[in-house]
Amino acid sequence: MTITSNTNKTTYKILVVDDCKPILEVIQENLRNASYIVFTESEVEKAIEFLAENKVDLLITDLRMPNLSGLELIKHVRENFSDMEVILITGYPSIQSAISAVKEGAEVYLVKPFSTDELLSSVNLVLEKLERRRRAHNIEIPAGSYGIIGESDAMKKVFKLIRKASETDLNLLISGESGTGKELIARAIHNNSRRRSAPFVPVNCTAIPENLIESELFGYAKGAFTGAGETREGFFQLAEGGSIFLDEIGDASLALQCRLLRVLQSKEVVMVGSNRVQNVDIRILAATHQNLPNLVSKGLFREDLYYRLNVLEIKVQPLRERGEDIFLLLNFFLARLKKGSNLSSINFSDEALQTLKRYNWPGNVRELENFIQRLAFLYDGEEIKSSSLPVHMKSMISGGTGLNKTLAEVEDEYIKKILDSVSGSKTHAARILGIDRKTLREKLKRILK
């Protein structure tokens, strides 16, 4: 089985502590340019608070600071976090402080002023060591697997289920909000299963017109109807030996559900205009943003089909419930953008990062990805401050949209924001808002008036 684990440096988190702001900024910039995730604090007390809430891989700390010193911070880290590396920097080199620092557990000792190269090679050195240690102790490298980024417990569970699901041929249902990565997961399972060299065929269950269900799914024979000039295979023949991905299964019409149920039971298909029964060898993967048991109880989804699909289930948590993944994803998308373009660097201020962490991401990972793309081109080479972030991100966090707005204004703003987060797709926006497309269209007419 091939597992592609994403262990590049874009996923390491580094906290830099120094009471001298200009030095802090230079180090931060150098490390961010090298694609690390960087946080800064100018006081030891604040750093301790930060570490209580955020997991980091490496601490870089100054030695002499007012109040608590860097040595005390190192001691705190050694006592509380076993899986963290430490680099000490100081402008006052002395044998004594170096000895103390090493005794307390600093890996590397850097004397100011140091060059960017010196900084980066020290950082590389300790992070390589950290990675070797994690491997040796079999600590899961937290960046993610299968090209899917995430280190939250929720995502670790998903990775485990992907591995299990890849080893069997059982039907699987993936559920989760829009933009949480359901299709990514389905592809990962196919690509890690014994079927990987056969096709993965996605079928959008909302996009098949009622009168074309049979011919789309099972194909048609030449001459089956007017216009059938050639024999054409349907999704099920195309996926032979591989996997079919029934996307948006919760939105399938009852007619489609009925047809799917039959083929899932019999594993046989017949082309329109033919009477030859074909056996198909296909793995079924399905996904939905809907709550299927709910639909079943309302009579909108067939219970028998639900049980057939739901032999295995993967539930993907919304991004707001796995805040630990936000910085990882942010850095992953930034690094990917940089690779494919001539963008120089994109930096976020610490305050902006905290805003992003607390924002509720209704469009999930897709929203984050779009957001970063837009921002990267707007702010190439500049630091993104909290003040440069869209108003809706900040207003959502501060727990209100302003106390002087009418309900209609708040609604308009929210609708615009959601549309923005899904790159203008009305289908997605309507889904997130929990209204149908028609209602959304009406509301947009009002907004755009």
Ligand X SMILES: Nc1ncnc2c1ncn2[C@@H]1O[C@H](COP(=O)(O)OP(=O)(O)OP(=O)(O)O)[C@@H](O)[C@H]1O
Site for Mg ion contains 425 (CB under 5 A) = no
Among 191, 361, 428, 429, binds ligand X (CB under 6 A): 428
Residue among 8 and 204 whose Cβ is closer to Mg ion: 204
Please list every residue from 207 through 266 that binds ligand X, using CB under 6 A: none
Please list every residue from 277 through 296 that binds ligand X, using CB under 6 A: 289
Q: Among Mg ion, ligand X, none, what binds residue 428 when CB lies within 5 to 8 Å by partner kind?
A: ligand X
Q: How far is the CB of 126 from ligand X (least distance, A)?
A: 27
For residue 111, the cross-strand partners are 90
Site for ligand X contains 9 (CB under 6 A) = no
From residue 234, alpha-carbon distances to 16, 201, 305, 311 in Å are 57, 10, 21, 25
Q: Which residues contact 339 (CB under 8 A, 6 or more apart)?
A: none
Site for ligand X contains 6 (CB under 6 A) = no
Among 40, 61, 178, 331, binds ligand X (CB under 6 A): 178
For residue 16, the cross-strand partners are 40, 60
Q: Among Mg ion, ligand X, none, what binds residue 257 when CB lies within 5 to 8 Å by partner kind?
A: none
172-176 and 312-316 strand pairing = parallel
Q: Is 381 left (phi over 0), alpha (psi -120 to 50) or beta?
A: left
Among 9, 13, 366, 417, binds ligand X (CB under 6 A): 366
The CB density around residue 378, as the number of other CB atoms within 10 Å, is: 11
The pair of structure tokens assigned to 250 is 């919760």
Q: Among ligand X, Mg ion, none, what binds residue 150 when CB lies within 5 to 8 Å by partner kind?
A: ligand X
Site for ligand X contains 365 (CB under 6 A) = yes
Site for ligand X contains 180 (CB under 6 A) = yes
Q: Among Mg ion, ligand X, none, what binds residue 184 when CB lies within 5 to 8 Å by partner kind?
A: ligand X
Residue among 338 and 428 whose Cβ is closer to ligand X: 428
Please list every residue from 179 through 208 that binds Mg ion, using CB under 5 A: 183
Contacts to ligand X by CB under 6 A: 148-150, 176, 178-184, 289, 329, 365-366, 369, 428
